[in-house]
Amino acid sequence: MAFQVGSALLDACVLAVLSKEDTYGYILTQTMRDVTDISESTLYPVLRRLQKEGCLSTYDKPFQGRNRRYYTITESGRLKYEEYKKDWIVYKNQIDQLLCGGDKNE
């Protein structure tokens, strides 16, 4: 894809994934890779930042003798996600208008 994903959009995508279910870093990375080219080294700082901002919390769960760190969205994160969705609709419509001349089906 020719377009770069900025930090706000990356945050919104992470919150979107976690709004559906708790998950651990590897699965989150794989899910994000379905729509954008992202590495774990890019994703983990995003997770730490969102956690520091109170949008995510973590818990550990044993798996095959090791602990997996699961990420879960907080109430603050859900509110931020809803904000991002509203902003995205406005932004997407503006870009569609510019690139597609108002035809949102192209």
First to last CA, the chain: 17
Q: How many domains does the chain have?
A: 1
Beta bridge partners, 70, equal: 24, 59
Q: Residue 36 and residue 16: Cα distance in Å, rounded? A: 14
Residue 90 inside a domain? The answer is yes
pLDDT for the residue 44: 93
For the segment 61-85, the average pLDDT, to the nearest whole number, is 96
Using the predicted structure, report yes or no on whether residue 6 has a pLDDT greater than 80: yes
Residue 40 inside a domain? The answer is yes
Residue 32 inside a domain? The answer is yes
3-class DSSP assignment, residue 81: helix
Provide the pLDDT confidence category of residue 104 given band limits of 50, 70 and 90.
low
pTM: 0.86
Q: What is the CATH number of the domain that holds 25?
A: 1.10.10.10
Residue 93 inside a domain? The answer is yes
Listed in sequence order, the residues at least 6 apart from 28 whose beta carbon sits closer than 8 Å to its beta carbon are: 14, 17, 18, 43, 47, 71
Residue 2 inside a domain? The answer is no
pLDDT tens readout for residues 33-43: 998 888 888 89
Residue 1 inside a domain? The answer is no
For the segment 21-35, the average pLDDT, to the nearest whole number, is 93
- Per the structure, the complete domain to which residue 85 belongs is given by 7-100
For the segment 17-26, the average pLDDT, to the nearest whole number, is 96
Using the predicted structure, report yes or no on whether residue 47 has a pLDDT greater than 70: yes
Q: Is the dihedral of CA 11, 20, 38, 93 positive or negative?
A: negative
pLDDT for the residue 1: 55
For the segment 14-19, the average pLDDT, to the nearest whole number, is 97
